[in-house]
Chains A and B, each alone.
Chain A
Amino acid sequence: MAATAETREQVDEATGDYKYGFVTEIESDFAPKGLNEDIVRFISEKKGEPQWMLDWRLKAYRAWLKMTEPQWAMLDIPPIDYQDAYYYAAPKQQGDGPKSLDEVDPELLRTYEKLGIPLEEQKVLAGVEGAPKVAVDAVFDSVSVATTFRAELEKAGVIFMSISEAIREYPDLVRKYLGSVVPIRDNFFACLNSAVFSDGTFVYIPEGVRCPMELSTYFRINAENTGQFERTLIVADAGSYVSYLEGCTAPQRDENQLHAAVVELVALDDAEIKYSTVQNWYPGDKDGKGGIYNFVTKRGLCKGKRSKISWTQVETGSAITWKYPSCVLQGDESVGEFYSVAVTNNRQQADTGTKMIHQGRNTRSRIISKGISAGRSNNTYRGLVRVQAGASGVRNFTQCDSLLMGDQCGAHTVPYIESRNPGAQIEHEATTSKISEDQMFYCLQRGLDEEAAVEMVVNGFAKEVMQQLPMEFAVEAQKLLGISLEGSVG
Chain B
Amino acid sequence: MLKIDDLHVSVDGTEIIKGLSLEVKPGEVHAIMGPNGAGKSTLASTLAGRDAYEVTAGSVHYAGKDLLALAPHERAGEGIFLGFQYPVEIPGVSNLNFLRTALNAQRRYRGEPELNGADFMKLAKDKAKDLEMSLDMLKRFVNVGFSGGEKKRNEMVQMAVLDPKLAILDETDSGLDIDALKTVSQGINALRGSDRAILLITHYQRLLDYVVPDHVHVLADGRIVRSGGKDLAHELEAQGYAAAVA
On A, residues with C-beta under 8 Å from B are 436-439, 441-450, 452-453, 456-457, 459-464, 490
Is B93 a contact of A445 with CB atoms below 8 Å? no
Question: Contact partner of A460 among B76, B87, B93, B162, CB < 8 A?
Answer: B93
Interfacial chain B residues near A444, Cβ < 8 Å: 49, 71-73, 76
Question: Contact partner of A449 among B71, B82, B92, B99, CB < 8 A?
Answer: B71
| Contact A460/B92 with A448-B102, A448-B105 known, Cβ cut-off 8 Å | yes
Is B162 a contact of A446 with CB atoms below 8 Å? yes
CA gap between A436 and B92 in the complex, in Å: 14
| Contact A441/B51 with A447-B162, A457-B93 known, Cβ cut-off 8 Å | yes
Is A447 a contact of B73 with CB atoms below 8 Å? yes
Q: Which residue on chain B has the smallest CB distance to residue A437?
A: B51
Is B91 positioned at the interface, with any CB of A under 8 Å from its CB?
Answer: yes
Q: Which residue on chain B has the smallest CB distance to residue A444?
A: B72
Q: Which residue on chain A has the smallest CB distance to residue B99?
A: A446
Q: Which residue on chain B has the smallest CB distance to residue A490?
A: B51
Is B56 positioned at the interface, with any CB of A under 8 Å from its CB?
Answer: no
Is A459 a contact of B93 with CB atoms below 8 Å? yes
On B, residues with C-beta under 8 Å from A are 48-51, 71-73, 75-77, 81-82, 84, 87-93, 98-99, 101-103, 105-106, 109, 141, 158, 162
23 contacts between A and B (CB under 8 A): A437-B51, A441-B72, A441-B88, A442-B87, A444-B72, A444-B76, A445-B48, A445-B72, A445-B84, A446-B76, A446-B158, A447-B102, A448-B73, A449-B71, A452-B105, A456-B101, A457-B90, A459-B92, A460-B90, A460-B93, A461-B91, A461-B92, A463-B91
CA gap between A490 and B84 in the complex, in Å: 21
CA gap between A448 and B100 in the complex, in Å: 11
Interfacial chain B residues near A456, Cβ < 8 Å: 90, 93, 98, 101
CA gap between A63 and B93 in the complex, in Å: 50
Is B101 a contact of A452 with CB atoms below 8 Å? yes
CA gap between A461 and B101 in the complex, in Å: 17
Interfacial chain A residues near B77, Cβ < 8 Å: 447
Q: Which 4 residue pairs spanning A and B have beta carbons closest together?
A: A460-B92, A463-B92, A446-B102, A447-B76
Distance in angstroms from A167 CB to nearest chain B CB is 44
Is A445 a contact of B141 with CB atoms below 8 Å? no
Interfacial chain B residues near A452, Cβ < 8 Å: 101, 105
CA gap between A461 and B92 in the complex, in Å: 6
Is A449 a contact of B73 with CB atoms below 8 Å? yes
Is B88 a contact of A438 with CB atoms below 8 Å? yes
